[in-house]
Amino acid sequence: MTIEKLNEKMYRKHLKNGLEVILMPKKGAIKSYAVFATHFGSINHKFVPLGEENLLTVPDGVAHFLEHKLFEQEDGVNALDKLSKIGANANAYTTFNHTAYLFECTQNFDEALEILLHFVQNPYLTKENVEKEKGIIGQEIKMYDDDPDWQLFFGFLNCLYNEHAITKDIAGTVESIAEITPEILYKCYNTFYDLSNMVLCVVGDFDEEKVLSIIENNVKNENEKEKIHRENDKVEEGINKKRAEKVMDISMPMFMLGFKDDFLKQMINVGFDYENSELVKRHVAIEIIFEMLIGKSTELYEDLYNSGLIQKELGSDYTFEENYAYSSITGESKNVELVIQKILNKLREMKENGIDENELERIKKMLYGEYVFLFNDVSKIGSIVVSDYFKGVNSFDYVDWYRNIQKEDVEKVLKEHFDETKMAVSIVKPQ
């Protein structure tokens, strides 16, 4: 399958073993980038292990723990060191819904790709090295306990959701990782690191046929497995609570204001589709609304900045995954309550008066230009494509909706999504 837009080409091939390969050649690119990812994140804590019949619940933090351990190889050499020696800058990360291993380089790309494919497919887990890792990850967990941004974020999520895995730290807790064993890790690995549950994306200046040959020669030659039976936490009605507050060692109060989105309920009922652009349209509409609400050219931003209520831009985001979705605004202010009230007043005004057609067209062009600019960065392209793939959407659909979304589409989302009965606020205050 070949997709061509923005003078960019995307080649997709579904291998016999189930692996989805996405190649995006960019002639003249200085760097090349590869990301090998599995649809296994921190929220996937209930599933039926491969070859078994009963549902298993694993401790919080397993996906992140496994990410740490895969770099360790049986020959005693860490895969990160191998990649570093040939000039490749490698890393890995775990999100709520997927785990990814990646590298970028300017030379020795073929060799680096072979190393990536090898270590991700060959775990080496022993009782000794698992126990050793618990101390390392335990220190990481404690570090995040003292991170005000992290605490602000999870305070917000705990407002929106109650009994949902998204409210648990991706790395787990010191107590939960203490329960992790090599046996649990291997069950997770054998289930979720099957190639039929994975995607490999390569971006850069390369020969497509050669890279595809390297991939096919370095992945397991097996038939595609049946779909994994995982039990996702149910999407709860309403929100858990309206407000969360925490006191930490910071100089300026921080806030995160947002709205839970129930739009995904109907999407879950019909199942995810890679070509489903309705999710993309909603994402684009919310981006436009945020730009009209708190963008640097708005009256509200000028008012907040000139009055000294904020000293830098407010952040905004819309997140949607398999079984949760929300929008958020973040910022710092000496008077958080007044800033929040002004934001809500402006939202109500926008709902009542509608949006300006000329302003909409200006913002569409701006967001379109920003999105196109991202395609100059091979690593950003790769991470976007992989994230969108696991969400069930096509990254190139954003190109169409930034240009073609209509006033009535945006106003519909404005009235539907920004519902104050589904709004929550998280605040971190100075001691």
Q: Which residues are catalytic?
A: 67
Name the phi and psi angles at 10, rounded to 5.
-125, 120
57: how many CB neighbours lie within 10 A of its CB?
A: 9
Tokens of residue 140, six digits? 């990481």
Q: Are 44 and 55 in contact (CB under 8 A)?
A: no
With both helix axes pointing from N to C terminus, report the angle between 62-69 and 127-145 in degrees, rounded to the nearest 10.
120
For the chain, give the longest Cα–Cα distance: 66
The span from the CA of 191 to the CA of 228, in Å, is 7
C-alpha count within 13 angstroms, C-beta hemisphere, residue 106: 1
With both helix axes pointing from N to C terminus, report the angle between 127-145 and 182-192 in degrees, rounded to the nearest 10.
80
With both helix axes pointing from N to C terminus, report the angle between 357-374 and 378-391 in degrees, rounded to the nearest 10.
110
Name the phi and psi angles at 195, rounded to 5.
-60, -25
